[in-house]
Amino acid sequence: MRRYNIILLLILCFGNITTVIRGSELEQEIDSIKKLLMITSAADKRLDLLEKISYLSMDDSTGNFWLKQLKKEAQEARQIDKEGWAIRTLARFYYNMGDVENVKLYVSQIDSLAKQTENYNDYYFDAHTFLCQLYLWDEQFEKAADAAIRLYNLAKEEKNENGIICSCETQGLINQRIGRDSVAVDFFQEGLDLLQKTGKDYRYIVQYLNNVIESELKLNRFESATGHINQLQTLITNIKNGEYGLDPSFPYDRCALLTEAFYISLYVREKNIQEAKKHIDKAVPYLDKLDDTYVHIFYMFSVASYYKLTGQYTQALNTINDVVKLDNGPEVKTLRAEILMDMGNTREAALQYKEALKQNEEINSAAFVRQLSQLHALHDMNNLELQVKELRVTELELGAKQQQLKWSLALASLLLIILILGTIIYMHTHKLKNELQKDKQALLESENALRIARDHAEESDRLKSLFLSNMSHEIRTPLNAIVGFAQILDSEMEEGDERKEYTHIIMDNSALLLNLVNDILDISRLESERYRFTFAEQNLAECCRSALTSVEHRVKPGVELRFSPEDENFMFNTDKLRLQQVIINLVGNATKFTEKGFIELAYKVDRANGFVQFTITDTGCGIPAEKQDAIFERFEKLNECVQGTGLGLSICRIIAERFNGEVLLDKKYSDGARFIFTHSLNL
């Protein structure tokens, strides 16, 4: 559904009589502004007058002229804000006309303005939304989705609330149109939450609610649909009661009937006949006041579903037949087939089911259909030319009978040309059909190739896992033997024996090699997602203390190891071993580079946002600015002379992501290094 900006008319109140400004008065106001423009030379005043007359003429054919004049003078006066408003409104003007090329033109101009000012404001996001939605209405879903995703990411990056709201609506509409209603609901809900938080435009909230309810009903999400319908009904009542100020142009009857239709559809899906009938009765007063095809279709479809549910099949069939006159889509055909099946008319029901399936196939083959539509349009155009020429020949024959022979020959020649053209068109059509068939075959072959590649990839992944498992066993077994015999030799040697120092070197390097093997195996398992986390309720403080105990022997003399818990008794759901692995890696890194001062582990619980935040702070040498962005890369080491695999931070990041959190470096801390690790509470 396109979003249109509606010009509010001023209301004059005299006692109990309310008079709306008539068209003639609006024309008088526009004429007075034109006269002022003729005698005004100051740039600021002219821009204000041009903006006002553009606003008043926005839905008029002259609106285009005044907007272009405003854009030109704003550009000359370097009034960026007014120039941006003019360009955005021109894009909206051509959006309402369905003129894609002109919308593209003004979107490119708003892009240039944004690049010039380095500011992506509301005008930028509005203009791009117009173009994105035009792609959607033209069923260019790939273009629409690509533009909407880019716009959404940019709005998030710029923290532009209007941009997020607009792009969420567009992505919701795209997913709704292609049948991905569960994804659509997520986008609609995100935009609706932000829209309600900002308190902007109650009309836009009504529009958002209509969109999200439609998808929730299709998904049978009765609880959330009920809440949103109730919210919509309350909002419409408040608008009617003037809680947001007088708004005589608000389509109250349309919104009220659509709300009742939502209720009917909801209760029919829940098989609550009594409530559905109550809302059918409530909708009756609005039926004669409304001339809106979409609402009328939705209402009658819901009523037909009610009649089917209650066994009133004749009324159901009559109602759905009325819907067919306005909308003969697959959903309508399917309901009609179900009604016919309930009435025992299986033959006609089967035909309806067949038509619905056929129509769905046509929708799913949109690219092919658009090709045929273009050919059909070309054929119609040629037929129209033929009819015009035949009519001209007929008129000439009636006007000059003496030249019948001459014109008969001309007509024969013309028919021959048309036959040749028809043959050319047929051959061209046949050629295009063959090319499309070849493309289809190529796609099938590509799909088979991809399936084979996927199987090969899965087999490679299985072999990699088997290889890693074997390597784990084959490397650890000799390492354990080396470490074991080295410990025996060490225990039998006396202090001062040179061989005792050699056994220590053997044990230390064996431990380093074992850590390297363990790190490589860990990161391989985590990346392949074959490692299953074991979640259970744990005491957070005990987990942290246990991890610190494992690394306290690494702390250098003169360095204080601190622990600062916010809540000693906090329990939460986690994989204890993997949580301790992250803490041990981060604290262990701090021990390598901290010669004096302290190393502190602290955490705080943010229940409002649903996560635990850990901070590991040290007073060591810190991380140089040129290496801060690379430390999370694999095998990246701050100091090549310090022992380690360079995999610890990569493992930490992967585990944190499995906890729906993240690990990052606090670049603002300058007395050493500080890492921040978050862990979601909602696992």
CATH number at residue 48: 1.25.40.10
- Other Cβ atoms closer than 10 A to 57: 19
Do both 453 and 544 map to the same domain? no
- Tokens representing residue 659 in the block: 């906890």
pLDDT at res. 616: 94
pLDDT band at 14 (very low <50, low <70, confident <90, very high): very low
Return the beta strands (E) in 536-653 as ranges: 536-539, 559-565, 571-574, 597-606, 611-618
Q: What mean pLDDT comes out for the span 256-267?
A: 89
The domain boundary residue, chosen from 423, 457, 491: 457
Pairing of strands 571-574, 597-606: unpaired
Do both 551 and 446 map to the same domain? no
- Tokens representing residue 466 in the block: 């088997």
236-241-246-248 Cα dihedral, nearest 10 degrees: 60
Q: Look at residue 376 and tell me whether its pLDDT is greater than 50.
A: no
Q: Is residue 26 a part of any domain in this protein? A: yes
Q: Look at residue 242 and tell me whether its pLDDT is greater than 80.
A: yes
pLDDT at res. 323: 85
Give the C-alpha separation, 164 to 499, whole Å: 69
pLDDT at res. 476: 66
Q: What mean pLDDT comes out for the span 561-589?
A: 90
CB contact set of 19 (below 8 Å; sequence gap of 6+): 11, 12
Do both 544 and 452 map to the same domain? no
Give the C-alpha separation, 518 to 579, whole Å: 16
Phi-psi region of 344 (alpha: psi -120 to 50; beta: other; left: phi over 0): left
- pLDDT tens profile 638-649: 555 455 556 778
Q: What mean pLDDT comes out for the span 551-556?
A: 88
- Please give the mean pLDDT across all residues of the chain: 80
Q: What mean pLDDT comes out for the span 590-605?
A: 91
- pLDDT tens profile 285-323: 888 876 778 888 888 888 888 998 899 989 988 988 888
Q: Look at residue 543 and tell me whether its pLDDT is greater than 70.
A: yes
pLDDT at res. 230: 92
Q: What mean pLDDT comes out for the span 385-391?
A: 58
- pLDDT tens profile 149-201: 888 898 888 888 888 888 888 888 888 888 888 988 899 888 888 888 877 67
- pLDDT tens profile 211-231: 999 889 889 999 998 999 998
Q: Is residue 303 a part of any domain in this protein? A: no
pLDDT band at 573 (very low <50, low <70, confident <90, very high): very high
Do both 428 and 564 map to the same domain? no
Q: Is residue 186 a part of any domain in this protein? A: no
Pairing of strands 597-606, 663-665: unpaired
- Other Cβ atoms closer than 10 A to 190: 18
Q: Is residue 362 a part of any domain in this protein? A: no
**Range 373-376, long-range pairs (CB < 8 A, 24+ positions):** 375/425, 375/428, 375/429, 375/432
Q: Looking at this protein, which amino acid is placed at residue 79?
A: Q
Pairing of strands 673-680, 663-665: antiparallel
Q: Look at residue 438 and tell me whether its pLDDT is greater than 80.
A: yes
- pLDDT tens profile 35-84: 888 888 888 888 888 888 877 776 666 777 888 887 888 888 888 888 88
Do both 541 and 453 map to the same domain? no
Q: Is residue 289 a part of any domain in this protein? A: no
pLDDT at res. 603: 94
pLDDT at res. 662: 93
pLDDT at res. 414: 87
Give the C-alpha separation, 604 to 584, whole Å: 18
Q: Look at residue 637 and tell me whether its pLDDT is greater than 90.
A: no
Give the C-alpha separation, 653 to 586, whole Å: 11
CATH number at residue 583: 3.30.565.10
- Tokens representing residue 509 in the block: 């390097």
Are 135 and 170 within 8 A, CB to CB? Answer: no
Q: Is residue 466 a part of any domain in this protein? A: no
pLDDT at res. 539: 93
Give the C-alpha separation, 44 to 61, whole Å: 25
> Which residue in this structure is represented by tokens 């990056």?
157
The domain boundary residue, chosen from 119, 137, 169: 119
Range of the domain at 389: 372-457
Q: What mean pLDDT comes out for the span 234-242?
A: 87
pLDDT at res. 20: 38
Q: Is residue 592 a part of any domain in this protein? A: yes
The domain boundary residue, chosen from 119, 153, 174: 119
Number of domains in the chain: 3
Q: Look at residue 375 and tell me whether its pLDDT is greater than 60.
A: no
Share of the chain above pLDDT 70, in %: 80
Are 572 and 681 within 8 A, CB to CB? Answer: yes
Give the C-alpha separation, 682 to 679, whole Å: 9
Q: Is residue 98 a part of any domain in this protein? A: yes
Are 367 and 440 within 8 A, CB to CB? Answer: no
- pLDDT tens profile 271-287: 999 998 999 898 888 88
pLDDT band at 389 (very low <50, low <70, confident <90, very high): low
Q: What mean pLDDT comes out for the span 408-427?
A: 88
Do both 572 and 439 map to the same domain? no
pLDDT band at 447 (very low <50, low <70, confident <90, very high): confident
Give the C-alpha separation, 67 to 59, whole Å: 12
Do both 643 and 545 map to the same domain? yes
Greatest mean pLDDT range, 3-17, 374-388, 568-582 = 568-582
Q: Looking at this protein, which amino acid is placed at residue 248?
A: P
